[in-house]
Amino acid sequence: MTRKKLCTATQAIMFALFMALASCTPKNVAYFQNIDQTVAAIDVQKSLLRVKPEDKLSIIVHSKDDQLSKLFNLPVVSTNITQAMLTSDVNTIRNDGGVKSGVSVYTVSPAGTIDFPILGTLNIKGMTRAEVSGFIKGELMGRDLVKDPIVTVEFVNTGISVLGEVNQPGRMEVNRDHLTVLDALAMAGDLTINGQRDNVLVIRDEEGVRKAYRLDLTDAEKTMNSPGYYLQQNDVVYVEPNNFQKRQTTTNGNNVLSTAFWISVASLLTTICVLVFK
């Protein structure tokens, strides 16, 4: 084989390798690709937020007698509170996650209890908002303290973290029930084109045990039936980058798996061939 033919063959091989690498773009970019076949068969059990240690709750008692109601409500703190005081039983939370004057809240103890005015220590661990409301209402009526109480319970400063290949990673406040992983990803600006739709990780702390659930967002049935579909407070959602993105994340982007590396090699060989046969 002549040098010219060898050079031509080398160029052809390098071009083929370059095209093969360039074509390695993610294919699974559409969510719920089988939704038409599975939507009717999906039976999803919605998950409610349940009280966990260190949660912060706003609990307000209302009745026809305003003066009586005040006995069972924490006083609103009138001065700013520093971050160092966040371990107190009474805090005020700002919309941006900080603290300021506003609605006072209870911080759930490690044992799952709160110290409620007059009623004393109440164990509310594992309860939903409705269950906490019903429990306190029952205590007030059962002890003949309030005849017609209305108890409002809200989670305060409860959030999840979304990391990885999303457009706006970070921590997000989610003070409502039935928050799905899709809701969280939407709040994070959706996945980037380099995020793996079929490999989204949800990390959760359950009773001190760290658990992880992997979701395939291209499969509707598997995703919606996963324990990780409905999020809980303090969950971490991580979107792993696809292989194409991983190849680009070396120090200078030039390793044997990267497209940039093969472009450089092909350019060098082309230059050599031109100089040899000039």
pLDDT at site 95: 42
Q: Within a 13 Å sphere around the CA of 87, how many CA atoms are in the beta-carbon half?
A: 2
Query: Which phi and psi (to 5°) does residue 211 adopt?
Result: -120, 150
Q: Residue 222 domain-assigned?
A: yes
User: Do 151 and 63 sit in the same domain of this protein?
Assistant: yes
Same domain, 39 and 176: yes
Model confidence pLDDT, tens digit, residues 4-19: 555 565 556 555 555 5
The reply to whether 29 falls in a domain is: no
Mean pLDDT (the chain, rounded): 76
Same domain, 68 and 136: yes
Which whole-number Å values give the CA distances from 130 to 44, 155, 157, 164, in the listed order?
20, 11, 18, 34
Does 30 fall in a domain? no
**Residue listed under structure tokens 């661990």:** 125
pLDDT at 129: 92
Are 73 and 112 members of one domain? yes
C-alpha triplet 17, 20, 26: angle, nearest 5°: 145
Determine the structural domain holding residue 217 and report its residue range: 35-46+159-242
Instruction: Check residue 98 and give its pLDDT.
Output: 45
User: What pLDDT digit, counting tens, does each position of 125-159 carry?
Assistant: 999 999 999 999 999 999 999 988 999 999 987 88
Say what the pLDDT of residue 27 is: 56
- Residue with token string 């005849």: 147
Burial of 108 (0-12, 13-18, 19+ CB in 10 A): buried
Residues 13 and 63 in one domain: no
Question: How many Å apart are CA 132 and CA 60, to the nearest integer?
Answer: 11
Q: What is the CA radius of gyration of the chain?
A: 28
Q: How far apart are CA 221 and CA 139, in angstroms?
A: 42
pLDDT of residue 204: 93
What are the beta bridge partners of residue 263?
none
Strands (E), the chain: 56-62, 90-92, 104-107, 113-116, 120-123, 150-156, 159-164, 170-173, 195-206, 209-215, 236-241
pLDDT in tens, the chain (278 residues): 565 555 565 556 555 555 555 555 445 667 667 666 555 444 444 678 899 999 999 999 999 888 888 899 987 654 444 443 433 344 444 444 444 445 678 999 999 999 999 999 999 999 999 999 999 999 999 999 998 899 999 998 788 999 999 999 999 887 788 889 999 999 999 999 888 888 899 999 887 789 999 999 888 888 888 889 999 999 999 999 876 655 565 545 455 555 555 566 666 666 666 555 55
Residue 51 lies in a domain: no
φ/ψ of residue 106, rounded to 5: -100, 140
Assigned token pair, 229: 């579909």
CA 92 – CA 54 distance, rounded (Å): 14
Q: Where are the alpha helices (DSSP H) in 61-154?
A: 66-70, 129-142
Instruction: Collapse the DSSP code of 141 into the 3-class scheme (helix H, G, I; strand E, B; otherwise coil) and give the result.
Output: helix
